[in-house]
């Protein structure tokens, strides 16, 4: 990337954007109804002045038009990059900029501007805490009366929690591809546990690395062979809860996640911004182990004297309300239910160990955040906690995920953004946010260009950290899930999801379902054959097809 560049060693002392500039920009915007040439000239002058206040410091920086042979490990402030590429260069061209540069340099810089230039404007860091098989209500702050998640509860009190956040595909590998690419499965092409087809340079880790970030990934990958060469720091492992290390010792997977995350933070170059994704394996089960959930011994005292409530729809009656191609023991959701939940005693054992794994993840998140604070970078780091998919805790007589029910598709999302105003801290948002929104949100936060291939939206407009207009946020979305093995094992499922209604489609069986979820939150009363809902069904069927086509279009514009 070309543009205005400064050396990486200067990032800790880069100048802050003068607040007075924002007032000037507001004045420019109010002129939009006036003469177009005058408006253009005003904008050019504004941005040139903005650049010059940053550049007119007694530092041995390169010329603003100089482009070194390689941009690797060289950073510029995000606002400065935006100024040149989005406004000055396209608006007036090099010659006009040069003329304004000469004229502006002849004017003295004000004392206020000089004072502002002394403030720090280090590029924002990014930490994504990404848990596994963890549904929306496995948080104390979400109202769960049992599970202990003090770190994540505190994180929510310092940021915003998105209560209607969902995944667009509820399975590990595909959902991770959605996270990295900002695309629906139909666009990124990963319909299982293989690499996605989207070029790496169009993912948030790839783009950040190209922008000079030190990029790390530790833990679960699940999209084919781990591409370690694409990261500055990469450690991939998952599939079981305990690992034997080269020295013969054993380490729990969550402790290993923690060790590697802290090593990344300790080794990272201090003259570069960083992006770290911590991809936990917990709370995923160890499927080949009869115990399924294997927490650390230090956690076994937790929840000993607690009775875990059984969901109201964790019944055989609920199971038999499912379509017959799901409601049979050949279906993998039912098979795993028998592994984990088919007796009251087994349910209590499994759920207590599941919650122990969750609390362990919470503790590791706490130690990572404490290290960020110790290094003095927490308040300049975008912190995101979310998960790859939800989970059936025996609801509908099932275990695991995959299908379009609420338990499967709703996942937690907490964002702590340094740009977020204090009045937003501890607040919640009930808009439909999606896994595909995270990549563009991250890129916009650091000032990187969002590729047109990304279909998600920048969520920062929902908490006022983006100058862009919020506009009409989505009130519905398309859900999709591929066949795994064959249609009897895990069939393809699709849905149009709204807050009050949900339309299911099972293409291999040409079966539709319709649920009025505002009145039927457990999704047990299928209204597809109710004549009174014929109009609702027809409207949702047509809209479903529209959104399905959009999901495969590579870009939502």
Q: Provide mean pLDDT across the span 212-228.
A: 95
Are 426 and 516 found together in one domain? Answer: no
Q: Provide mean pLDDT across the span 77-88.
A: 45
Q: Is residue 472 part of a domain?
A: no
Q: Is residue 31 part of a domain?
A: yes
What percent of the chain has a predicted confidence (pLDDT) above 90?
74
pLDDT band at 471 (very low <50, low <70, confident <90, very high): confident
Buried b (16+ CB within 10 A) or exposed e, 271-292: bbbbbbbbbbbbbbbbeeeeeb
Q: Is residue 368 part of a domain?
A: yes
pLDDT band at 107 (very low <50, low <70, confident <90, very high): very low
Are 153 and 86 found together in one domain? Answer: no
Q: Is residue 306 part of a domain?
A: yes
Examine the pLDDT at 97 and tell me if it is beyond 80. no
Examine the pLDDT at 178 and tell me if it is beyond 60. yes
Write the CATH number for 506. Answer: 3.30.1120.10
Are 205 and 346 found together in one domain? Answer: yes
Query: Please, what is the average pLDDT of the chain?
Result: 84
Examine the pLDDT at 18 and tell me if it is beyond 70. no
Are 210 and 299 found together in one domain? Answer: yes
Q: List pLDDT tens digits, range 141-163.
A: 999 999 999 999 999 999 999 99
Stretch among 16-25, 332-341, 393-402, 511-520 having the lowest mean pLDDT? 16-25
pLDDT band at 470 (very low <50, low <70, confident <90, very high): low
pTM value surpassing 0.95: no
Q: In angstroms, rounded to a whole number, what is the distance separating the alpha carbons of residues 524 and 520?
A: 7
Examine the pLDDT at 67 and tell me if it is beyond 50. no
Are 19 and 62 found together in one domain? Answer: yes
Q: Which long-range contacts (CB under 8 A, 24 or more apart) does 494-503 make?
A: 494/404, 494/544, 494/548, 495/404, 495/544, 496/540, 496/543, 496/544, 496/547, 497/166, 497/404, 497/409, 497/432, 499/164, 499/432, 499/475, 501/536, 501/540, 502/404, 503/537, 503/540, 503/541, 503/544
Answer with the one of 439, 457, 488 that is the final residue of a domain: 439
Q: Provide mean pLDDT across the span 342-354.
A: 98
Are 432 and 528 found together in one domain? Answer: no
Q: Is residue 495 part of a domain?
A: yes
pLDDT at 281: 98
Q: Is residue 459 part of a domain?
A: no
Q: Is residue 450 part of a domain?
A: no
pLDDT at 146: 98
pLDDT band at 464 (very low <50, low <70, confident <90, very high): confident
Are 145 and 110 found together in one domain? Answer: no
Q: In angstroms, rounded to a whole number, what is the distance separating the alpha carbons of residues 335 and 374?
A: 46
Give the Cβ contact number of residue 115 at 10 Å. Answer: 11
Q: In angstroms, rounded to a whole number, what is the distance separating the alpha carbons of residues 88 and 75?
A: 19
Q: List pLDDT tens digits, range 247-291.
A: 999 999 999 999 999 999 999 999 999 999 999 999 999 999 999
pLDDT band at 75 (very low <50, low <70, confident <90, very high): very low
Are 97 and 151 found together in one domain? Answer: no
pLDDT at 465: 73
Examine the pLDDT at 22 and tell me if it is beyond 90. no
Q: Residue 374 is part of which domain span?
A: 125-439
Write the CATH number for 290. Answer: 3.40.720.10
pLDDT band at 192 (very low <50, low <70, confident <90, very high): confident
Examine the pLDDT at 90 and tell me if it is beyond 60. no
What percent of the chain has a predicted confidence (pLDDT) above 70?
77
Buried b (16+ CB within 10 A) or exposed e, 306-345: eebebbebbbeebbebbbeebbeeebbbbebbebbbeeee
The CA distances from residue 122 to 9, 79, 370, 378, 473, in Å, are: 11, 11, 20, 12, 31
Answer with the one of 99, 116, 133 that is the final residue of a domain: 116
Are 379 and 492 found together in one domain? Answer: no
| Structural domains of the chain, count | 3
Q: In angstroms, rounded to a whole number, what is the distance separating the alpha carbons of residues 8 and 10?
A: 5
pLDDT band at 49 (very low <50, low <70, confident <90, very high): low
Residue with tokens 């002045």: 49
Examine the pLDDT at 21 and tell me if it is beyond 80. no
Residue, of 288 and 63, whose pLDDT is higher: 288
Are 185 and 327 found together in one domain? Answer: yes
pLDDT band at 352 (very low <50, low <70, confident <90, very high): very high
Are 90 and 132 found together in one domain? Answer: no
Q: Is residue 301 part of a domain?
A: yes
- In 3D space, the residue among 70, 62, 101, 69 whose CA is nearest the CA of residue 83 turns out to be 101
pLDDT at 95: 44
Are 100 and 228 found together in one domain? Answer: no
Answer with the one of 416, 439, 462 that is the final residue of a domain: 439
pLDDT at 71: 39
- In 3D space, the residue among 355, 389, 362 whose CA is nearest the CA of residue 144 turns out to be 355
């Amino acid at each position: 990337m070309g543009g205005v560049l400064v050396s990486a060693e200067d990032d800790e002392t880069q100048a802050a954007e003068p607040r007075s500039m924002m007032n000037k920009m507001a004045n420019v915007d109010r002129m939009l109804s006036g003469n177009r040439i005058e408006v253009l000239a005003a904008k050019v002058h504004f941005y040139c002045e903005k650049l010059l206040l940053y550049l007119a410091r007694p530092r041995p920086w390169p010329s603003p038009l100089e482009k070194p042979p390689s941009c690797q490990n060289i950073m510029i402030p995000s606002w400065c990059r935006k100024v040149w590429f989005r406004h000055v260069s396209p608006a007036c061209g090099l010659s006009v900029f040069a003329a304004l540069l000469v004229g502006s340099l002849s004017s003295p810089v004000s004392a206020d501007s000089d004072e502002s230039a002394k403030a720090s404007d280090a590029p924002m860091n990014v930490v994504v805490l990404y848990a596994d098989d963890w549904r929306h209500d496995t948080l104390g702050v979400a109202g769960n009366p049992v599970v202990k998640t003090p770190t994540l509860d505190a994180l929510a009190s310092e940021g915003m929690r998105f209560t209607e956040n969902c995944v667009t595909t509820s399975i590990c590998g595909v959902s991770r591809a959605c996270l990295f690419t900002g695309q629906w499965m139909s666009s990124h092409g990963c319909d299982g546990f293989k690499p996605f087809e989207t070029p790496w340079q169009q993912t948030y880790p790839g783009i950040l690395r190209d922008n000079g970030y030190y990029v790390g990934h530790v833990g679960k990958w699940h999209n084919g062979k781990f591409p370690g060469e694409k990261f500055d720091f990469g450690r991939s492992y998952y599939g079981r809860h305990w690992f034997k290390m080269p020295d013969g010792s054993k380490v729990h997977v969550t402790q290993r996640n923690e060790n590697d995350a802290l090593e990344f933070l300790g080794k990272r170059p201090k003259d570069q911004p960083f992006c770290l994704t911590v991809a936990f394996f917990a709370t995923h089960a160890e499927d080949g182990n009869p115990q399924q959930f294997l927490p650390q011994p230090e956690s076994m005292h937790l929840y000993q004297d607690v009775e875990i409530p059984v969901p109201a729809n964790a019944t055989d009656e609920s199971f038999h309300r499912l379509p017959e191609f799901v409601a049979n023991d050949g279906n993998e959701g039912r098979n795993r239910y028998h592994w984990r939940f088919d007796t009251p005693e087994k349910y209590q054992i499994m759920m207590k160990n599941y919650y122990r794994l969750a609390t362990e993840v919470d503790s590791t998140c706490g130690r990572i955040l404490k290290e960020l604070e110790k290094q003095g970078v927490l308040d300049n780091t975008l912190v995101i906690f979310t998960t790859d998919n939800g989970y059936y805790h025996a609801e509908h007589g099932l275990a695991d995920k995959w299908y379009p029910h609420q338990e499967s598709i709703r996942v937690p999302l907490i964002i702590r953004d340094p740009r977020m105003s204090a009045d937003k801290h501890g607040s919640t948002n009930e808009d439909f946010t999606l896994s595909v929104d995270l990549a563009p949100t991250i890129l916009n936060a650091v000032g990187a260009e969002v590729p047109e291939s990304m279909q998600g939206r920048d969520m920062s407009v929902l908490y006022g950290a983006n100058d862009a207009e919020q506009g009409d946020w989505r009130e519905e979305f398309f859900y999709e899930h591929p066949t795994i093995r064959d249609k009897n094992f895990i069939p393809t499922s699709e849905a149009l999801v709204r807050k009050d209604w949900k339309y299911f489609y099972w293409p291999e069986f040409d079966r539709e379902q319709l649920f009025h979820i505002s009145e039927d939150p457990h999704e047990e009363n299928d209204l597809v054959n109710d004549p009174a809902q014929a109009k609702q069904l027809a409207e949702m069927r047509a809209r479903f097809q529209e959104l399905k086509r959009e999901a495969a279009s590579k870009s939502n514009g």
